């Protein structure tokens, strides 16, 4: 009430009505929040009383609980300079409340008894952060996990034990993941494999996010418009993905998705300048996004730290069965640096720790995680040979834990000249090259994949692969693997291609309503 602008500091404070335990308190908070949204710089008791008057049910509760007297006491007793203390303690008690709802005993964290033992417990509670409380719970689980899992899962074995079953398992279900864009890249890395962490690096402005969005769309949406056949075709997978945005906002991702699906350059969509045929494709792209609305989740995390990233990914894995995560950018955020400030850990070590955390999550949950990072400012694109971890900004050790690592850059005139025989064979000039320098459980490393990437639609097409000296890669032949088939999407494809009547009609005036994708802000 004294300083409503605190509600705008979402990077420090995050409050919602459900944080409050009673309807009476939730109604008061909602009133304060909505009054602030309507530009109230300071909110009085009378303001809240007047606001609730227009909500009869809420005002009845307010009067029954002596709301005016309650708020007058709150305003008199509270001290704005102690808000951080109030907020932290409030959130800690909410954390205990939610743990109790789950059946977890919190008596050793906070006690309501009046004993010497309870006093000591509560003194320690004052020093705990929410992360500390969560870690205590995790410790309890890990003890049980170690007692029952490690005893059986980590038994010693011989090289021959179970080898027949392993070979048969790989014959029936090869160790591959869902397709990512590019048949050459897929052959080398075997798709988006579960339990693996992939890292792609590029210089600033080279399209790291656009590349990740293209990869995410290829996994999430099984159909898209084909500019060659002028039809909607089955290309891609039908997987649930989470895209974690650190620098951009959700709307920027959504227009990229529309461009990818419709093959209409994003610039046309941003300016609203497209012809009738392109508008029809955009509307059908919206239709696809609605059809597969559970496949593409977006979460905004502007100032991430390791604890938040772990919590977010676990949430989407357990609540929404998401098994593919795109974390758009590894960087040293203020929150990440602050997480280890007291330990005086160097920045390069911290960057390695978040990379390790992503790999550990991929292994723990058996999910696919992909991320990106920047190159050193001094990286010379014209320098010959395959670029590697020495070109990555911040910490070479970022790639230590990842399973796949490659660097992509725009092609140079000298490279185009050196590739003339390959270009003559394909008829397409590559505008992007990916230097693949780390492939765990793969034989094609230190190779260069030459592609054409459409920055306006986030679509990529692999053209050919060479060694660092522009020579052909010996014994390389692409392997095509694709989960599912066009028959699974027959009805939708017939609808999109005008063969049968659509099951959902999207009015033209709703062209900008592609906000079906839910967005979380952390």
pLDDT at 478: 84
pLDDT digits (tens, 9 = 90+) for 139-151: 787 777 656 654 4
What was the pLDDT predicted at 366? 93
Q: How confident is the model at residue 518 (pLDDT cuts 50, 70, 90)?
A: very low
Residue 460's pLDDT band (cuts 50, 70, 90): very high
- Residue 407 φ then ψ, to 5°: -115, 135
Give the range among 9-13, 299-303, 464-468 with minimum mean pLDDT: 9-13
Q: Is residue 152 over pLDDT 50?
A: no
Predicted pLDDT of residue 37: 87
For 408-454, the pLDDT digits (tens) are: 999 999 999 999 999 999 999 999 999 999 998 888 899 999 999 99
Q: What is the mean pLDDT of the chain?
A: 86
Whether the per-residue pLDDT at 462 is higher than 90: the answer is yes
Task: Report the predicted TM-score, pTM, of the whole model to 2 decimal places.
Answer: 0.71
Q: Which pLDDT band, with edges at 50, 70 and 90, does 369 fall under?
A: very high
Question: 470 phi and psi, to 5 degrees?
Answer: 70, 15
**Residue 513 pLDDT:** 40
pLDDT at 58 over 60: yes
Rounded Cα gap, residues 194 and 221, in angstroms: 18
Helix, strand, coil shares, percent, the chain, to 5: 50, 15, 40
Residue partners of 65: CB distance under 8 A and separation at least 6: 24
Q: Is the pLDDT of residue 120 over 80?
A: yes
The SS3 of residue 504 is coil
Q: What average pLDDT does the segment 162-186 reach?
A: 83
Residue 217 — very low, low, confident or very high, per pLDDT cuts 50/70/90? very high
Residue 112, judged by CB atoms within 10 A of its CB (0-12, 13-18, 19+), counts as exposed
Tokens, residue 402: 């990842």
232 token code pair:
């909607």
Is 412 in contact with 432 (CB distance < 8 Å)?
no
**pLDDT recorded at residue 337:** 67
Mean pLDDT across 109-126: 91
Burial call 366-387: b when 16+ CB within 10 Å, e when fewer? ebbbbbbbbbeeebeeeeeebb
Quick count: other Cβ atoms within 10 Å of Cβ 7? 15
Residue 134 has pLDDT above 80, yes or no: yes
pLDDT at 439: 92
> Tell me, what's the pLDDT at 395?
61
Mean pLDDT of 471-496: 77
The pLDDT value recorded for residue 225 is 96
The distance of Cα 513 from the centroid of its chain, to the nearest Å, equals 22
214-241 burial code (b ≥16 CB/10 A, e <16): bbbbbbbbbbbbeeeeeebbbbbbbbbb
Contacts of 401 (CB under 8 A, 6+ apart): 197, 352, 355, 356, 358, 359, 360
Residue spans of the domains in the chain: they are 1-78, 178-496
pLDDT tens per residue across span 316-357: 998 899 999 999 888 766 766 666 666 566 666 777 888 899
Nearest to 426 by CA among 446, 458, 408, 451: 451
CA–CA dist 306, 515 (Å, integer): 29
CATH 3.30.390.10 fits domain 178-496: no
How high is the pLDDT of residue 463?
95
pLDDT band at 270 (very low <50, low <70, confident <90, very high): very high
pLDDT at site 349 = 73
Looking at residue 268, its pLDDT comes to: 95
Average pLDDT over residues 386-405: 80
% the chain with pLDDT above 70: 86
Tell me the mean pLDDT in the region 281-287. 95
Instruction: pLDDT band for 162, please (50, 70, 90 cuts).
Output: confident
pLDDT tens sequence across 59-106: 999 999 999 999 999 999 999 999 999 999 999 999 999 999 888 889
- Closest by alpha carbon to 385, among 264, 303, 471, 453? 471
* Distance separating alpha carbons of residues 17 and 25, to the nearest angstrom: 8
Tell me the average pLDDT across 300-324: 89
215: its two tokens: 């990869």
405 with 438: CB under 8 angstroms?
A: yes
| Residue pLDDT, tens place only, 16-48 | 888 998 999 999 999 999 999 888 888 999 999
Cα 412 vs. chain centroid, distance in angstroms? 32
């Amino acid at each position: 009430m004294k300083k409503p602008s605190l509600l705008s500091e979402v990077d420090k404070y995050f409050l919602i009505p459900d944080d409050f335990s009673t309807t009476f308190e939730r109604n008061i908070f909602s009133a304060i929040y909505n009054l602030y949204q309507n530009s109230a710089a300071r909110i009085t008791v009378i303001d809240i009383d007047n606001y609730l008057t227009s909500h009869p049910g809420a005002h009845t509760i307010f009067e029954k609980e002596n709301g005016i007297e309650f708020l007058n006491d709150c305003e008199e007793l509270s001290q704005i300079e102690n808000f951080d203390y109030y907020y932290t303690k409030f959130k800690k008690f909410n954390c205990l409340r939610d743990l109790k709802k789950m059946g977890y005993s919190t008596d050793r964290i906070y006690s309501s008894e009046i004993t010497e033992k309870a006093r000591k417990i509560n003194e320690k509670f004052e020093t705990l952060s929410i992360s500390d409380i969560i870690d205590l719970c995790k410790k309890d689980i890990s003890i049980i996990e170690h007692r029952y899992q490690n005893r059986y899962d980590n038994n010693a074995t011989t090289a021959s034990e179970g080898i027949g079953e392993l070979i048969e398992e790989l014959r029936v279900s090869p160790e591959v993941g869902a397709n990512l864009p590019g048949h050459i890249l897929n052959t080398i890395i075997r798709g988006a494999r579960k339990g693996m962490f992939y890292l792609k690096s590029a210089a600033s402005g080279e399209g790291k996010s656009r590349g990740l969005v293209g990869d995410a769309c290829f996994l999430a949406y099984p159909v898209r418009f084909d500019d060659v056949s002028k039809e909607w075709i089955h290309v891609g997978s039908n997987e649930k993905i989470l895209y974690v945005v650190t620098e951009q906002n959700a709307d920027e991702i959504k227009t990229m998705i529309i461009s990818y699906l419709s093959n209409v350059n994003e610039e046309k969509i941003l300016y609203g300048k497209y012809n009738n045929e392109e508008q029809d494709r955009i509307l059908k792209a919206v239709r696809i996004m609605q059809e597969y609305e559970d496949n593409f989740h977006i979460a905004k995390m502007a100032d991430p730290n390791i604890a938040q990233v772990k919590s977010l990914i676990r949430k989407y894995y357990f609540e929404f069965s998401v098994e593919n995560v795109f974390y758009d950018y590894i960087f040293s955020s203020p929150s990440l640096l602050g997480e280890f400030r007291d330990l005086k850990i160097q920045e390069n070590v911290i960057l390695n720790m978040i990379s390790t955390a992503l790999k550990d999550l991929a292994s723990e949950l058996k999910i696919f995680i992909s991320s990106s990072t920047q190159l050193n400012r001094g990286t010379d694109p014209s320098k010959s040979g395959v670029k590697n971890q020495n070109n990555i900004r911040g910490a070479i050790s970022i790639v230590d834990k990842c399973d796949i690592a490659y660097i992509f850059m725009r092609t140079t005139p000298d490279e185009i000249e050196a590739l003339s025989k390959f270009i003559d064979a394909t008829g397409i000039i590559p505008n992007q090259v990916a230097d693949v320098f780390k492939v765990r459980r793969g034989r094609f490393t230190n190779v260069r994949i030459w592609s054409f990437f459409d920055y306006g639609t986030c679509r990529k097409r692999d053209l050919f692969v060479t060694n660092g000296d522009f020579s052909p890669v010996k014994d390389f032949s692409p392997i095509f693997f694709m989960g599912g088939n066009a028959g699974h999407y027959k009805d939708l494809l017939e609808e999109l291609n005008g063969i049968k009547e659509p099951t959902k009609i999207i009015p033209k005036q709703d062209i900008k309503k592609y906000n079906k994708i839910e967005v979380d802000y952390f």
